[in-house]
Amino acid sequence: MIPDSAAAFPVTVDVVALTVRDGALQVLLVDRLLEPFRGTRALPGGFVLPDESLEDAAARELAEETGVVAPSGNGPGPGHPWHLEQLRTYGPQGRDPRGPVLSVAYLLLAPAFGLPAPGGDAAEAAWFPVPDAEEPGPAGTAPLGALAFDHDRILADGVERARAKLEYSPLATAFCADEFTIGELRAVYEAVWGTHLDARNFHRKATGTPGFLEATGRLRAEGPGRPAELYRLAPSVDPAAAVLHPPLLRPPATPAPPT
C-alpha cells in the first residue's frame, strides 16, 4: 500500500541537553566510540528502534550514553522539573557519510545533575560550556565548534530556542530545583542569555508576572546576605505551554565598551 517510490530512511534522535552549572550554560556531549566521527565529540543520540516513539528514543539514548534517566513526557508538576521538547528535524541528505539519515533533534532543559555511567556507543559524557555566539573567544578557547555530523548547527538551534523560550515561557524553572530563590532564577537567565540583569528590576518582574511564581513562605539562608524567600513554579501551570504576560525580554545587544 505504501508506494515503491517512497524511500525508507534510518532515523536518529539527537538530544541537546542544556543545564546551568558554575554560572554558565552548559551542554552535554559525548565522545563517539564508533565510526563515523569516532573520537569526535557529539550530541548524545542514536537510531530509533522499530516500535519506539521519538520521545522514548530520545530518553533512551540519553540514558544509555550518559546514564541519565529523563522522564518521557512532561513530568508531573513538581518533582520533575525537566523539560523535553522537539527541536526540529534535519534532512536526510548530506549529513551522514553512511548515506541519507534523518535526525530528529530534541531539547532537554534540566537542573545540573551528575553523570553516573556512560555507556553504549559513547564514552566520557561530560558538560561543556556553550560559548557566547557573539564572542567566539580567542582561538583554542572555545571547546566547541567541531562536533560530529551537523551537530554544531543543531546545538546552535537548540541554544537559540532555549534563549528565546526563557523570554515568554516559565521554562527557566526547568533549570532549577523544585524550590528556588529569585536570585537563583536570575542566575539562570543571566547564564543562558549571557547578560547581566538588575537584581531589583528582575525581582519586581518575576514576582509581578501573574501565573509564574508562587511563594512558599519559607526562607533559605546560604552564604552571606539576607536569606531569600523560596518560590516554586505556580501550580496548575504547564511550563511547556504557559505564556508569560508580560514577557521577560532579553536586553538588546550590549555593545561592549571599548577598553
Partner DNA sequence: GATGTTGTCGTCAGGATGACGATATCCAGG
Partner DNA sequence: CCTGGATATCGTCATCCTGACGACAACATC
Positions marked active-site: 124
Stretch that binds DNA, among 99-107, 126-134, 152-160, 241-249 (CB under 7 A): 241-249
Interface residue with DNA, options 38, 88, 153, 204 (CB under 7 A): 204
Identify the bridge partners of residue 104 per DSSP, sorted by sequence position: 13, 89
- Residue 118: DSSP 8-state: -
Closest CA to 158 of 225, 100, 211, 86: 86
Choosing among a second copy, DNA, none, which partner's interface includes residue 102 (Cβ < 5 to 8 Å by kind)? a second copy
Interface residue with a second copy, options 24, 33, 37, 52 (CB under 8 A): 52
Closest CA to 37 of 142, 119, 144, 121: 121
Q: Does 204 bind a second copy (CB under 8 A)?
A: no
Q: Which DSSP string do the residues of 23-51 spell out, in sequence order?
A: TEEEEEEEEE-SSSSTTSEE-SEEEPPTT
Rg, the chain, Cα only: 20
| Positions 209 through 238 that interact with a second copy (CB under 8 A) | none
CA distance 201 to 181: 15
Q: How far is CA 115 from CA 20, 92, 124, 157, 256, in A?
A: 14, 31, 9, 24, 36
Interface residue with DNA, options 203, 214, 216, 240 (CB under 7 A): 203
Q: Does 227 bind DNA (CB under 7 A)?
A: yes
Question: What is the x/- site pattern for a second copy, positions 25-44, by CB under 8 A?
Answer: ----------xx--------
Q: Does 88 bind a second copy (CB under 8 A)?
A: yes
User: For binding to a second copy (CB under 8 A), which residues are involved?
Assistant: 1-3, 5-12, 35-36, 47-55, 86, 88-89, 91-93, 98-102, 104, 245, 252
